[in-house]
Amino acid sequence: MKDRATSPTDAPDYSLEKQVVRTAAVTLGWWVHGMVRLVLAIAMVYYGVAKLVFGQFGVADMGGALIAQGEMSPMGVLWRMVALSPLFQFLAGLAELGAGLALLWRRTVPLGAVLAGGSMALVFVLNLGYDVPVKQISLALLIMSILVLIPWMPRLARAVLGHGEIRPGPVPTLMPWRPLARVMNILGPIAGLVLVGLISWGVAAMYPERSTDETAPAGVWSVQEDAASPAAQLSEDTRWSAIAFGENEYDGHAVVQLRYANGELLTGSYQRTGEGTVELSLRPLRDPGVSIREHTEDDPTELTLTVQERGDGTVHLTGEGQDLVLAPDESAMVLYERGFSWGARVDDPFNR
């Protein structure tokens, strides 16, 4: 008996199987891409908000006016440079926050990846150049930005090189099934906004509330008169030569620096505890190779001082064995009071 001929309709539909496998593979790829994109977006929003609220670098304060360039670490130079320019810090934060927001929406992913990649490339170079101990993190975020951008790279190459027609770019598709995709198209943006709000709230809450008090003793002062006698050797002379009180307070504490006559610098914080009374907490500068834990093992030097303003602009400082007359150090205030000018000034270029 002859075998019955196989009908074309009875043959396995390999094309359908291939389509299912291809759809599953593409969907899995977009899910992996989406996870990388989500982590990158969270990092961009975190660092962006930290800069926008002036928390990561803070703001430049005259309380740090006494430290010399040679006493700074490379990281300290970078932190002071960025803190000195709120515009630079704000725009950097805006770029990173914008990248994070763009990464959360499917059709703006390539824009977000480009912004994140550019921002992280600059951050990585700064971390290398100023020896900031988060080089690996910035490099990882840069690599993640490139990975997220891969699906759009051929299109970007055509746009840059001008070779041929620029076709529409791919759209990330996490849900290939239309009914579920419609639901996700609504819930996705809502979840993104909630995520951005939670991160922003959490980052803003990390940093203490900042306020400004410009009244004395805020400012940079040099010792004009000292009731104490000098030591026999300059290296042993611990009389005060200069002191700087910051005006930006964080939860009631501001930066303070004290320079001895022998050149030693103490740094720390102070708070106003009453009418004309301040309390200082000071430590020597941390030496290279010393951990923060080791540096803070010893108790700080605690001082309670009385500040009395005088009509001639000087300040009388007493307490803890000190009886000093302080005069404003105008030269040490140039960095904080020079300000911005669009036009040329008489002393331009003023580069010192």
For the segment 55-80, what is each residue's pLDDT rounded down to a tens digit?
Answer: 999 999 999 999 999 999 999 999 99
User: Of 159, 180, 206, which residue constitutes the final position of a domain?
Assistant: 206
**Last residue in a domain, options 191, 206, 221:** 206
Contact between residue 66 and residue 240 where contact means Cβ atoms under 8 Å apart? no
- Between residues 289 and 13, which one has the greater pLDDT? 289
Whether 165 has a pLDDT exceeding 90, the answer reads no
If asked whether residues 186 and 219 sit together in one domain, one would say no
In a domain, 349, yes or no: no
pLDDT band (50, 70, 90) for residue 184? low
Which pair of structure tokens corresponds to residue 193?
Answer: 């906004």
User: Same domain for 201 and 220?
Assistant: no
Using 50, 70 and 90 to split pLDDT, how confident is the model at 1? very low
pLDDT per residue as tens digits for the range 135-154:
999 999 999 999 999 998 88
CA–CA dist 29, 25 (Å, integer)? 6
Average pLDDT over residues 177-188: 69
Burial class of residue 322 (count of CB atoms within 10 Å of its CB; 0-12, 13-18, 19+): middle
Structure tokens at 97: 């926050």
pLDDT value at residue 103: 94
- Look at residue 164 and tell me whether its pLDDT is greater than 70: no
If asked whether residues 198 and 243 sit together in one domain, one would say: no
Q: What does the pLDDT average to over 267-295? A: 94
Query: What pLDDT digit, counting tens, does each position of 245-256 carry?
Result: 999 999 999 999
Q: Does position 189 have pLDDT exceeding 80, yes or no?
A: no
| Percent of residues, the chain, with pLDDT higher than 70 | 89
Q: What is the pLDDT of residue 174?
A: 67
Chain-wide mean pLDDT for the chain? 89
Is the domain of 252 the same as that of 310? yes
Of 206, 225, 247, the domain-final residue:
206
Sign of CA dihedral 337, 342, 343, 348: positive
Fill in the amino acid letter for 56: Q
Q: What is the pLDDT of residue 153?
A: 86
Bigger pLDDT: 268 or 178?
268
pLDDT level of residue 274 (50, 70, 90 thresholds): confident
CATH of the domain at 331: 2.40.128
Q: Assess if residue 175 is contained within a domain.
A: yes
Residue 106: the pLDDT is 83
- Residue 342 domain-assigned (yes or no): no
Sorting pLDDT into bands at 50, 70 and 90, what band is 21?
Answer: low
pLDDT one-digit tens code per residue, 41-59: 999 999 999 999 999 999 9
Q: Range of 89's domain?
A: 13-206
Mean pLDDT computed over 272-276: 90
> Residue 61: its pLDDT value, please?
95
Q: Total domain count for the chain?
A: 2
Residues 197 and 236 in one domain: no
Burial 264-287 (b: 16+ CB within 10 A, else e): ebbbbbbebeeeeebbbbbeebee
